[in-house]
Structure 1
Amino acid sequence: MPQVLPPLTTQFAREFPGLVRECAPDIPTDTRVAAVNAPLARELGSDPGEETEAVEGLVRDLANATSAHAMAYSGHQFGTFSPVLGDGRAHLVGELTVGDALVDVHLKGSGRTPFSRPGSDGKAPLSAMYREYLISEALHALGIPTSRTLAVLETGERIRRRAPEPEPAGILVRTAASHVRVGTFQFARIASDQGVIEPDTREKLVRSALERHYPAWGEGPDASTAPALALLRGVASRQAQLVAQWMGVGFVHGVLNTDNVSVAGESIDFGPCAFLDRYESGACFSSIDTGGRYAYGQQPAMTQWNMARFAESLLDLLDPDPETAIEQASTVLREFEQEYRAAFTRVFARKLGIGATPEAGVEQFIAHTLDALEREEQDFTLFFRALTDDAEREGEFAAGSAWQAELEEHRARAGTSPEHAATLMREANPIYIPRNHHVEKALRDIERGDAATFERLLAAIRNPFTRVDGLDDLESPPPNARFFTSFCGT
């Protein structure tokens, strides 16, 4: 029977026994593979045409496994520190070797673990697993680093979450460059200080993360950089780039706690995430984020805050002298802000059809453009796509407006021809995103056993820059889009 590059290894669990707890996943005997990500299965080694058989073979192996591992981590959750969190409904089942890289295989919704909260069943709603599949594939298609869904499993169980009536349960088979988080290092710092794990665990974890995700760290002019400083700088740089990309497509993660920040620089842990319809810098969709801490416009500042917490977990490894270590960490945090602003400007310059290296005035022009979008309550994706298609626009953005004249001036200064501007915009401005109400409709249909709506939406977001006849309804939000609320699924 075809397999997805067997066998799985357990390298992380072997190298860091103090950062995992051994436990078996709970995969009921009636579990079936409900959805297979065929493109991802092929990337992982499945033969074309045999993707479903390959994933089913993997799932059979996982169902028969007597052991997997729940990962330990801490986390600042909405600003409040929890020293012990960990995988409460998830299992790291191992790693696949794909080319020169290791790829984690992880289960979500797979039962209780030693980190489960009291009263938790360790399960997950089937709809939440399909949501993660859809959102992660959308980000991937948009060119944004992300964990991905290999398969969704339907267990046949029913669980209670949002409503009094039980809903179908599911398990996600997820892949990622790794599941090591900022919170992993926070836990390692505390456990090391308490003597619970070996004192050199953090140093080993730093080098492991560098070798796996930043293999060039010891080369070039930074060859003498302390490993912990190299990791801090590398993670901060990738997070700056990542959040700028999120902002460019109107993505709101929703729960940017330190336990949801990957040191590999990928998007991970999709709960109450959503995409903007109408542009609003303070847009916050999550039912649990009552203060708007992780609103759309707050994401850069919150990510920088998370990088400060990461630095704290590494501080004594940066330099033996505390003052020197603090100054080094402060320098990286300043670099984060500079790198984020530069990345944000590049992302939005492309969306506006401004090529080359944007000159100084472009950053201010982008800010004015977004302010005007908010004043006019414009749809974020539709506005940039109308600009791309040279379609009719109204208000401050109309043809012949002062805004249009300034845009042409910035393009001219950058030496961007009309043809090049059009190419940049076509590559940067999607037609299809997983708009929130369309996602909800697809998920409700899934709960009723109808996957057609989901498959149609998935096909659209996998080719976000190509307009397809018959999918016009997926380009726009319904009139009540501004009242959307997202839920975590825990």
Structure 2
Amino acid sequence: MTPTLEHTYACTFPTLATEQRPTIPAESRVTWVNEPLAQELGLDAAWLATNNGLAWLTGGSAETYALAYSGFQFGQLSPVLGDGRAHLVGELPLPGAELGASGNPTQPRVDLHLKGSGLTNFSRPGSDGKAPLSAVWREVVIGESLHALGVPTSRALAVIETGEYIRRRSPMPEPAGILVRVASSHLRVGTFQYAQLTEGEELRKNLVNYALTRHYPHLNAENPLDLLRAVSKQQAQLVAHWMSLGFVHGVLNTDNVSISGQAIDFGPCAFIDGFSRDAVYSSIDRQGRYKYRNQPGVTQWNLARFAETLLDLIDDDPNKAVHLATDVLAEFEETYQDACTRLFAAKLGIDLGESADGQTLDKVAAFIEKTLDLAGEKTLDFTGFFRALTDDAEVQNSEKLQSLLGQEPAETWLAELNRLRAETGASPEKSYQLMQGNNPVYIPRNLTLDAALRKVETGDAEPIQRLIEAVRNPYTRVVGNEDLEQAPDSSRFFTSFCGT
């Protein structure tokens, strides 16, 4: 039986979702299906790869929509953005969900969304609405990696090859593809900005209620402050995850900040190889606005722009509304710092538990800063450094760390680390357990991923499939995958591109 898709958002907010048909060339075929994700969603992976599955994934004869939103792009407001190369196919209720009636957003659901699926009313002049196949696969790999590392994220369900060729990075044409992705929703900070610019108070109240009902049903569905606080908390925890993994999103515009707290729209993103707090990879971020060290501050800035869209709904008195929203936004820093300290503590084998007092947290946070300073001074491989700490703990020596830091710095640093472990009551076994579960062996190394993407353009998908299998099991070392553990020597020259 064909799975049922619904449209609670598009039907509730027709001015925010314009009916648009995707462009699916006749030669299109599904060349990859995310079998684990399909199983989670209650879908038959084999059926999705058939012609009927392709028709369902791309909307068939049913309604599909392009979503409207605004966005502060590199600090400058673009009043009208929207899905210029994407289409919402529908909302898929999750299997076993019993929280609401069919067609009600209280029933847990995900969006099925296409990227690279052709022109819409929101397409920019000169756009073709297409996506290079390499950019599609990049989002597949990054999404699977983040998911396996415990980061809330959108994920790819399928890859469609269209048989077309388009031009992007060079005069030479490259194969095009369509990404079929799944997200909790595609409500963004930019969605609320668009509604503020174009719609009245009643619709915006309903939008707040919809967002709360769909993503935070345990909260008061009529309180915009509750929504601001929930989104702020989720975003603080999301960015803390990124920082603990050395992940640089690359384009933290407000249209790329999701209300659900998932990572979305990661195009020119990268994991840091040689550590620097100023790491920036995107070819279009020439001023380093979205560099590694700036991600928490930029996210808080984006949340302030979100708060501005809610002020008249928070209170009729503008001064009171600003005061209330400011108090909520002030909680971001504490939430972020607590989450970041706990994540890095686990990477260091420090057991903070749930009851660590403020003094202990401050002491650990200071040591984390010292550790990152050291990593930056020596341009250490971020992932490799923390994994070396894990491997040394397994064999109870400091050989790898001494080779990275030098004997005396390694001994001094380790002595302070061991004091903190002792103060928090972490046994050697507990420390190793924490590190083993928080320091990956495999991430998508930038040049390794880039080389695999160049192969997939020629029709050779083996390297990309191998990389996906590795990042899906990031903490388990596999014999034969040694080349995936280290960054190639020329990684410091890597620049990422927004292929779509």
When normalised by structure 2's length, the TM-score is 0.92
Runs of 5+ consecutive residues of structure 2 not aligned to the other structure? 98-107, 393-398
Shift of 1:54: 3.1
Q: Distance in 1 between matches of 2:240 and 2:374?
A: 20
**How far apart, in 2, do the equivalents of 1:7 and 1:138 lie?**
29
Matched, 1:24 2:21: yes
Query: Cα deviations across residues 149-207 of structure 1 (Å, max 9, x unaligned)?
Result: 00010000001111001110000001000000000000000112xxxxx5411111111
Q: Does the 8 Å CA contact 2:33/2:48 hold for their aligned counterparts?
A: no
- Preserved contact between residue 27 and residue 63 of structure 1 (Cα < 8 Å): no
Q: 1:64 and 1:303 mapped to 2: Cα distance?
A: 38
Tell me the amino acid that sits aligned with residue 45 of structure 2: E
Aligned length: 473
Matched, 1:420 2:416: no
The counterpart of 2:419, out of the listed 397, 404, 409, is 409
1:234: which partner in 2? Answer: 230
The superposition leaves residues 358-405 of structure 1 with CA deviations (integer Å, 9 ceiling, x where unpaired) of: 532111000001000000111000100010111521265748622111
Contact in 2 for aligned 1:396/1:403 (Cα 8 Å): no
The structure 1 residue matched to 2:362, chosen from 360, 363, 373, is: 360
In 2, the alpha carbon distance for the partners of 1:235 and 1:199 equals 20
- Structure 2 matches for 1:263-302, cutoff 5 A? 263-302=259-298
Q: What CA distance in whole angstroms lies between the structure 1 residues aligned with 2:304 and 2:373?
A: 29
For residue 473 of structure 2, what is the aligned residue in structure 1? 463
- Structure 1: 5+ residue runs without aligned partners? 193-197, 219-224
Q: CA RMSD in A?
A: 1.4
Letter in 1 for 2:444: P
2:64 alignment counterpart: 68
**Counterpart in the other structure of 2:9:** 12
- What letter is aligned with 2:67? M
C-alpha contact 2:258 2:264 (8 A) present in aligned 1: yes
Q: Return the letter of the residue paired with 1:27.
A: I
Tell me, in whole angstroms, the C-alpha distance in 2 between the residues paired with 1:427 and 1:180: 32
Structure 1 CA distance, aligned partners of 2:17 and 2:55? 23
Shift of 1:278: 0.8
CA separation in 1, counterparts of 2:330 and 2:59? Answer: 47
Equivalents in 2 of 1:364, 1:330: separation in Å? 27
Q: Shift of the alpha carbon at 1:93? A: 0.9
Q: Which amino acid aligns with 1:489?
A: G
Give the one of 144, 149, 155 matched to 1:148: 155
Aligned-partner Cα distance in 2 for 1:422–1:136: 27
SS of 1:118's partner is: coil
1:393 to 401, 415, 420: 401
Aligned pairs for 1:8-157 within 5 A: 8-46=5-43, 50-56=44-50, 57-61=52-56, 62=58, 64-65=60-61, 67-98=63-94, 99-100=96-97, 101-157=108-164
- 1:392 is paired with a residue whose SS is helix
Question: 1:381 and 1:266 mapped to 2: Cα distance?
Answer: 22
The secondary structure found in structure 1 opposite 2:129 is coil
Distance 1:397 1:138 in 2: 32
Deviation string 1:409-465 (CA, Å, 9 cap, x unpaired) is 101111111100000000100000001011101100000000000011010000000
Structure 2 Cα separation of the partners of residues 24 and 319 of structure 1: 40
With normalisation by structure 1, the TM-score equals: 0.94
Structure-2 residue corresponding to 1:168: 175
Q: 2:213 aligns with which of 211, 214, 234?
A: 211
One-letter code of the match for 1:325? A
Aligned-partner Cα distance in 2 for 1:54–1:154: 14
1:19-38, CA deviations, whole angstroms, 9 ceiling, x for partnerless residues? Answer: 01111011111101011100
Please tell me whether the aligned partners of residues 24 and 65 of structure 1 are also in contact (alpha carbons under 8 angstroms).
no
What SS does the corresponding residue of 2:140 show, helix, strand or coil? helix
Conserved 8 A contact 2:453-2:464 = yes
The corresponding residue for 1:195 is none
Question: Cα deviations across residues 124-173 of structure 1 (Å, max 9, x unaligned)?
Answer: 10100000000000000001000010001000000111100111000000
Q: What do residues 181-236 of structure 1 show as CA deviations (whole Å, max 9, x unaligned)?
A: 000000000112xxxxx541111111111111111113xxxxxx961000000000
Match of 1:380 among 379, 382, 388: 382
Report the AA paired with residue 352 of structure 1.
L
Maintained 8 Å contact 2:70/2:79:
yes
| 3-state SS, counterpart of residue 110 of structure 2 | strand
Distance 1:107 1:326 in 2: 38
Q: Cα gap change, 1:55/1:322 in structure 2, threshold over 3 Å: closer, same or farther?
A: farther
SS in 2 for 1:17: coil
Output one character per residue of 1:18-77: Cα deviation in whole Å (capped at 9) or x when no partner. 10111101111110101110000101112xxx4132353332133632631000000000
Alignment check: 8 A CA contact 1:138 1:462 kept:
yes
Rounded to whole Å, the distance in 2 between the matches of 1:156 and 1:258 is 33
